[in-house]
Amino acid sequence: MKSHYRVVVIGGGVVGASVLYHLAKFGWPDVALVERSVLTAGSSWHAAGGVHALNADPNMAALQAYTIDLLSEIERESGQPIGLHMTGGITVASAPARWEWLQSAYRIFQTIGIEDCHLMTPAEIKKACPVIDIEGVIGGLWADREGYVDTTGTVQAYAKCARLRGAEVIEHNRVLELHRKGDAWQVVTEQGTITAEHVVNAAGLWAKRVGRMVGVDLPVSPMEHHYLLTENIPEIAALDRELPLVVDLEGFTYMRQDLKGMLVGIYEIQHKHWMMDGAPWDYGIELLQEDIDRIGDELALSFKRYPCLQTAGIRKWVNGAFTFSPDGNPLVGPVPGVPGFWSACAVMAGFLQGGGVGKTLAEWMIHGEPEADAWPMDIARYGDFAANKEYIKQTTGQFYSRRFVMTYPNEQLWAGRPLKMAPAYEAMTAAGARWGCSWGLEVPLYFAPRDFVETPSLKRSEAHDIVAAECRAVRDAVGLLDISGFSRYEVSGPNAERWLDRLMAGRLPKPGRARLAPMLAPSGKLKGDLTLFNWGDGSWWIMGSYYLRQWHMRWFNDHLADGVTVRDISDSIVGFSLSGPKSRALLERVTDADVSNAAFPFLACRPLDIGLIRARVGRLSVVGELGYELNCPTAAHNKLRQTLLEAGKDLGVREYGYNALLSLRLEKSFGIWSAEFRQQYTPRMTGLDRWIDWQKADFIGRAVALAERNGKGPERVLATLEVDALDADASGYEPVWSEGRRVGYVTSGGYGHRLGKSLAMALIEPRLAVPGTELRVHVVGVERGARVIRPSPYDPAGKAMRA
Ligand SMILES: Cc1cc2nc3c(=O)[nH]c(=O)nc-3n(C[C@H](O)[C@H](O)[C@H](O)COP(=O)(O)OP(=O)(O)OC[C@H]3O[C@@H](n4cnc5c(N)ncnc54)[C@H](O)[C@@H]3O)c2cc1C
């Protein structure tokens, strides 16, 4: 062991070993992995070793596909056998909605490049897996890239490959303390103190404890998990080939062959947390006591699905713990507020995700950002609120129990909710608000009568007509929207303007003006689609998506300069927006100020007195109508709502929610973050280049963005499509076809109620992005006609917004 390494990775499970391997492979060989016991001594040794290509989240599926492809590479490179059995796998559906989902998912996997899968009939399933009882099975999805590995061999293979590239593995050496001294970490271990520029927390079951060494409470908890191994089963022993892996979603189990018997793993409906503060330091390579009563129902289902289990002897029960974050995805990336401290934990499926996690983190550390969009696993998708123990308990428990339960896009899950509520929450609830959740905050989706019930569905739901009425109110009169679910950052200080000018790629707004502000990473890829307000008094606001608060603050703080203060004021400032042709008439009734078009034009912003409230108002509208955003102190939220509703009664003011907002913005072809705008997209692909100020001498990402501008152009560009949909609309990631060839994919879709059309935005080959081009799109697994239409199909000239 040396006294200095560039990076110390804490933890020798599959994730730590993969991080070490990728760091060494990508050019940082001066790295050491420090392991408390021996490699695999955490969750890794007793994992079932199953690898599945498919995941409901397309980003995670891509990560898994990378990991699976990597497995044979590390086996070859290390010479260490990893027991790779690439048997192929089947995901089985035995509920109509699940079958619909599988058909839809099949198409989405095509979009992300997982081509080696196909749908199966029950008879085909039976043929591929003779021990399954197909009663009730409607269909399945086959994937070539599924199977299982020997877990210990795999961890050793990662470590050996890393060693071959110069990395070190130091076993029997617990990290005791971490101290930040100057620009480096002092890593105090049992074998002495190491100085390191970077520390990676890959401590698996102990990740919580290692986080606390630097004052961070990670939103992660270990939970128990069972699988059983049978004795030899004659039906299996008689086969001349190996069984495929089978995931029986409605049965809550996964199954693979083990020797001449079976391994059956259970996602337990009655979940159980284990050592929420992290495993004890002296926890050895040991199993937990099995609790068969707790998993009795799922076991009964598995005995029906695989009748040979009924007579098979159980060779061994495995009950082990592994870790979960609130949404089940890993926690990866630079930990906000702790320089040089990186997270690679909460990886609930290390053998199928660990490769991708290692790659992502190593790229991030070496190049400043990962190649692919890491948002779904970025640790910054959570804030302080998620460190609460009860929150972690409820959300991780919900995820675990629902691991194989279908969640519909219009379904609300209630763990950890309601947590944060704007002051007008109760009043809006009384008015019929139905709530969604953004970063712990309740946000209104739509307003419905008390007895209204929305059925979870992949297709249009009963809420369709309600949202239609809200959209019409915005188009014809005036709509009121709670905009507490926007984030707000205040930038001030003598160097605020200069700092913003470098941070944002666009021209800064003049005093009293607001402007759309694209923000780029040094790679020239997108980092934000923000709105910038210059209040004219030396203070600026940046507004964006609420759920990106921690993520944006990390970026701002990482790039902070002297003489600049950035404060996240989203908790202290909330508000409402008014949109629609009668919004000015309403505003005039509650303020003395001149808000005529001449005095308060489109994109102006200024303080205004609204009734009793001192508000800050911007004249802009996400929905493409005449509109205003009224920001007020949190304590005045209720009063602002009452004031506006009372004043607007005879103007037909109507409250609306974010479902309507999403429909309205789609009709304007206004992109949103996580759909049209993502970290791996570029300005020219997305059309954000038209907001870039190319005259500016410098801004982050300028050189690369300029090269893109002058280059041959992107392979895909954003286009707006009209879809011949019947009872369902596109939602995102559906493949787009031209003459039988995949030419792009949907970024978001929905129904445009002002136009009466099903719409989608899609990234497609530029030559096809011409109005009138006929295309095909899969919507919930069914191929539909579609055509490219002009962007902003509603009010293309933008007259309403400027009225
Ligand atoms: C029963 C069961 C079945 C599973 N089946 C599958 C499956 O089929 N497929 C799949 O992909 N995943 C499966 N998993 C999940 C998988 O085991 C985990 O995702 C994976 O092991 C996590 O790896 P890790 O490296 O993050 O953590 P761990 O394996 O827990 O490794 C963390 C390491 O950090 C070390 N460490 C901790 N603190 C310190 C310290 N202070 N100093 C030094 N070292 C420290 C520990 O000793 C340990 O070795 C299963 C898990 C269980 C329990």
Residue 414 CA to ligand 1 center (angstroms) comes to: 29
Phi, psi of 295 (to 5 degrees): -110, 20
Cβ of 468 below 6 Å from ligand 1: no
- Amino acid letter, 168: E
Question: Per-residue pLDDT for 55 more than 90?
Answer: no
**Mean local confidence (pLDDT), 595-624:** 97
* Residue ranges in 55-173 assigned as alpha helix (H): 58-78, 96-111, 122-128, 151-164
Residues 750 and 662: beta-carbon distance below 8 Å: yes
Residue 575: CB atoms within 10 A of its CB come to 28
Cβ of 42 below 6 Å from ligand 1: yes
Cβ of 49 below 6 Å from ligand 1: yes
Q: Are strands 573-579 and 627-633 parallel, antiparallel or unpaired?
A: antiparallel
Token pair 């060779």 is found at 315
Question: Per-residue pLDDT for 295 more than 80?
Answer: yes
Question: Rounded to whole angstroms, how far apart are CA atoms 130 and 106?
Answer: 23
Residue 209 CA to ligand 1 center (angstroms) comes to: 15
Give me the pLDDT at residue 392, please. 98
The residue whose CA is least distant from atom 52 of ligand 1 is 47
Quick one: what percent of the chain has pLDDT higher than 70?
A: 100
Question: Rounded to whole angstroms, how far apart are CA atoms 758 and 752?
Answer: 6
Give me the pLDDT at residue 62, please. 86
Quick one: what percent of the chain has pLDDT higher than 90?
A: 97
pLDDT, tens digit, 9 for 90 and up, residues 188-201: 999 999 999 999 99
Nearest by Cα to 361 from 396, 328, 387, 335:
335
Residue 539 pLDDT class (50, 70, 90 cuts): very high
Q: Using the CB atoms, write b or e for 104-114: b if 16+ within 10 Å.
A: bbbbbbbbbeb
Question: Per-residue pLDDT for 330 more than 80?
Answer: yes
What residues form DSSP beta bridges with 678?
Answer: none
Give the nearest ligand 1 atom to 14 CA: 25
Cβ of 254 below 6 Å from ligand 1: no
Read off the tokens for 770.
Answer: 């011409």
Question: Rounded to whole angstroms, how far apart are CA atoms 33 and 5?
Answer: 10
Give me the pLDDT at residue 112, please. 84
The DSSP code sequence of 269-335 is SS--B--TT---TT--S-PPPP-GGGGHHHHHHHHHHSGGGGTPPEEEEEEEEEEE-TTSS-EEEEP
Question: Rounded to whole angstroms, how far apart are CA atoms 657 and 483?
Answer: 10
Give me the pLDDT at residue 113, please. 84
Question: Per-residue pLDDT for 650 more than 90?
Answer: yes
**Mean local confidence (pLDDT), 361-371:** 96
pLDDT, tens digit, 9 for 90 and up, residues 231-243: 999 999 999 999 9
DSSP summary character for residue 783: E
Probe ligand 1: pick from 44, 177, 193, 352, max atoms within 8 Å of CB? Answer: 44
The residue whose CA is least distant from atom 10 of ligand 1 is 349
Question: Rounded to whole angstroms, how far apart are CA atoms 762 and 194?
Answer: 50
**Mean local confidence (pLDDT), 382-407:** 96
Residue 61 pLDDT class (50, 70, 90 cuts): confident
Residue 46 CA to ligand 1 center (angstroms) comes to: 9
Rg (CA), the chain: 27
Least confident of 49-53, 56-60, 241-245, 680-684: 56-60
Helix (H, G, I), strand (E, B) or coil at 513: strand
What residues form DSSP beta bridges with 316?
Answer: 229
Residue 17 CA to ligand 1 center (angstroms) comes to: 11
The residue whose CA is least distant from atom 2 of ligand 1 is 47
Residue 189 CA to ligand 1 center (angstroms) comes to: 20
Cβ of 174 below 6 Å from ligand 1: yes
Probe ligand 1: pick from 18, 34, 43, max atoms within 8 Å of CB? Answer: 43
Question: Per-residue pLDDT for 56 more than 80?
Answer: no
Question: Rounded to whole angstroms, how far apart are CA atoms 277 and 212?
Answer: 10
Question: Rounded to whole angstroms, how far apart are CA atoms 675 and 618?
Answer: 25
Residues 362 and 22: beta-carbon distance below 8 Å: yes
Residue 169 pLDDT class (50, 70, 90 cuts): very high
pLDDT, tens digit, 9 for 90 and up, residues 39-48: 999 999 999 9
The residue whose CA is least distant from atom 51 of ligand 1 is 47
Cβ of 352 below 6 Å from ligand 1: yes
pLDDT, tens digit, 9 for 90 and up, residues 620-632: 999 999 999 999 9
Question: Per-residue pLDDT for 444 more than 90?
Answer: yes
Per-residue 3-state assignment (H helix, E strand, C coil) for 256-288 = EEECCEEEEEECCCCCCECCCCCCCCCCCCCCC
Give me the pLDDT at residue 63, please. 87
Cβ of 175 below 6 Å from ligand 1: yes
Question: Rounded to whole angstroms, how far apart are CA atoms 652 and 654?
Answer: 6
Residue 84 pLDDT class (50, 70, 90 cuts): very high
Give me the pLDDT at residue 24, please. 98
The DSSP code sequence of 13-63 is SHHHHHHHHHHHHTT---EEEE-SSSTTTTTGGG---EE-S--SSHHHHHH
Token pair 């309507």 is found at 660
Residues 98 and 157: beta-carbon distance below 8 Å: no
* This prediction's pTM: 0.96
Q: Are strands 573-579 and 605-610 parallel, antiparallel or unpaired?
A: unpaired
Question: Per-residue pLDDT for 550 more than 80?
Answer: yes
Cβ of 272 below 6 Å from ligand 1: no
Residue 220 CA to ligand 1 center (angstroms) comes to: 13
Give me the pLDDT at residue 68, please. 92
The residue whose CA is least distant from atom 33 of ligand 1 is 11
Read off the tokens for 449.
Answer: 């009568």
Q: Using the CB atoms, write b or e for 453-481: b if 16+ within 10 Å.
A: ebeebbbbbebbebbbebbbbbbebbbbb
Give me the pLDDT at residue 170, please. 98
Residue 593 CA to ligand 1 center (angstroms) comes to: 62
Probe ligand 1: pick from 45, 322, 323, 377, max atoms within 8 Å of CB? Answer: 322
Cβ of 350 below 6 Å from ligand 1: yes
Cβ of 37 below 6 Å from ligand 1: yes
Cβ of 225 below 6 Å from ligand 1: yes
The residue whose CA is least distant from atom 34 of ligand 1 is 11
Residue 332 CA to ligand 1 center (angstroms) comes to: 15
The residue whose CA is least distant from atom 14 of ligand 1 is 47
**Mean local confidence (pLDDT), 247-270:** 95
Residue 319 CA to ligand 1 center (angstroms) comes to: 13
Cβ of 8 below 6 Å from ligand 1: no
Cβ of 400 below 6 Å from ligand 1: no
Residue 354 pLDDT class (50, 70, 90 cuts): very high
Nearest by Cα to 103 from 116, 89, 85, 91:
91
Instruction: Describe the crossing of helices 350-367 and 151-164 by its angle, rounded to 10 degrees.
Output: 20
Question: Per-residue pLDDT for 447 more than 80?
Answer: yes
Residue 92 pLDDT class (50, 70, 90 cuts): very high
pLDDT, tens digit, 9 for 90 and up, residues 103-147: 999 998 888 888 899 999 999 999 999 999 999 999 999 999 999
For CA atoms 690, 694, 699, 701, the dihedral sign is: positive
Read off the tokens for 748.
Answer: 């978001």
Residue 223 pLDDT class (50, 70, 90 cuts): very high
The residue whose CA is least distant from atom 31 of ligand 1 is 13
Residue 773: CB atoms within 10 A of its CB come to 18
Residue 205 CA to ligand 1 center (angstroms) comes to: 6
Side by side, the strands of the sheet bearing 139-143 are: 117-120, 139-143, 89-93, 245-248, 253-258, 261-266, 221-230, 314-324
Cβ of 47 below 6 Å from ligand 1: yes
Q: What is the mean pLDDT of the chain?
A: 96
